[in-house]
Amino acid sequence: MNINLEGLPAILEKVTLASLLPALLYLLGGMAVVKIVMRALTKALEKSSIEKTLHKFILTLIRLTLYFIVFMTVAGALGIQITSFVAILSVAGLAISLSLQGVLSNLSSGVMLLSVKPFKAGDYVEVGGVGGTVREIGFIHTKISTPDNKIIYIPNSEVSSSKIVNYTNEGKRRIDLVFSAGYNCPIETVKLAIREAVEKFPKVYADPAPFVRASAYKDSVIEYTVRVWCGTDDYWDLYYDIIEAVSESYARHGVKMSYPHVNVHMVKD
């Protein structure tokens, strides 16, 4: 899109020496007011609960708005028709917005993420099938570090339109495990072995109490569902500790870990 600036010389011809002094006073006064307002606003934002990443965006937006007001005031003092400048700026703004449509979409999504706060830096999340720790929430993209130390940059428009799972937000998580044992092992014995393995860890929450129940009868084994609660930071350590501890507890209680097998009967004619 082309911007027509043919009318700009005619607009500037209306500027006279008599209008320069008041225009200069308006400019200096306006810049001083902007400086005072921005200083006060910066202090107010620091004391507020607004996400710090948003501070720069808010300050920039307000600063540009105040500069525009000062510019319009100075233009009026110079005798320039403000409507002409508004028309030019409107056309320019439309051209810029069309060329930066994708960037503006990510920018608006970034502001929304920082305002709604579905996650914060340091949270472990899953976004659009990507799981990892949030390192930075920018205005254009969100930076995520995966467990294998890969850095992934996801456009904010994609983040805001995807399902977001936050594993850190609540401060505690539930570990879900399934163990199995043969039919020749009494159910109560197996449950006792699992419960002893689970309750030996102090980081396992007593409330809610650990859940251990027989949950399914398979072809050659009985499955036991185990659910325990712990702190989010302890999740993965406990997950693997419990798996190892159940194996040891099975051995102490004489519980055999069965495996799928097939009996084949040979029939002779």
What residues does CATH 1.10.287.1260 cover in the chain?
8-99
Q: In what order do the strands lie in the sheet with 124-127?
A: 151-155, 141-145, 130-137, 124-127, 164-166
194 vs 91, which has greater pLDDT?
A: 194
Q: pLDDT at position 242, please?
A: 96
* pLDDT bracket for residue 188 (50, 70, 90): very high
User: Per residue in 206-243, pLDDT tens?
Assistant: 999 999 999 999 888 999 999 999 998 899 999 999 99
Per-residue pLDDT, averaged over 80-94, amounts to 66
Per-residue pLDDT, averaged over 57-61, amounts to 79
CB of 204 closer than 8 Å to CB of 210: yes
Report the alpha-carbon distance of residue 241 to residue 248 in Å, rounded.
11
CATH fold of 8-99 reads Helix Hairpins (1.10.287)
The answer on pLDDT for 26 being more than 80 is: yes
74: nearest Cα among 131, 34, 106: 34
Q: What is the 3-state secondary structure (H, E, C) of 28-77?
A: HHHHHHHHHHHHHHHHHHHHCCCCHHHHHHHHHHHHHHHHHHHHHHHHHH
The answer on pLDDT for 3 being more than 60 is: no
What residues does CATH 2.30.30.60 cover in the chain?
117-166
Report the alpha-carbon distance of residue 173 to residue 209 in Å, rounded.
13
263 vs 190, which has greater pLDDT?
A: 190
114 vs 219, which has greater pLDDT?
A: 219
CATH fold of 172-253 reads Alpha-Beta Plaits (3.30.70)
What residues does CATH 3.30.70.100 cover in the chain?
172-253
Per-residue pLDDT, averaged over 167-194, amounts to 93
Proportion of the chain above pLDDT 90, given as a percent:
34
Q: pLDDT at position 190, please?
A: 96
Tokens representing 258? 């069965």
- C-alpha distances in angstroms, 108 versus 86, 88, 115, 117? 24, 25, 11, 14
The answer on pLDDT for 22 being more than 90 is: no
Report for 1-10, 76-85, 160-169: range of highest mean pLDDT: 160-169
Q: pLDDT at position 140, please?
A: 80
The answer on pLDDT for 249 being more than 90 is: yes
Residue 164 pairs in a beta bridge with 127
Q: Is 166 exposed, middle or buried (0-12, 13-18, 19+ CB in 10 A)?
A: middle
Q: Is the peptide bond before 208 cis (omega within 30 degrees of 0)?
A: yes
The answer on pLDDT for 122 being more than 80 is: yes
Mean pLDDT of the chain: 82
Give 74's Cβ-side CA count (13 Å radius): 18
Level-2 CATH architecture, domain 117-166:
Roll (2.30)
Report the alpha-carbon distance of residue 21 to residue 34 in Å, rounded.
20
Tokens representing 161? 């339109």
The answer on pLDDT for 1 being more than 50 is: no
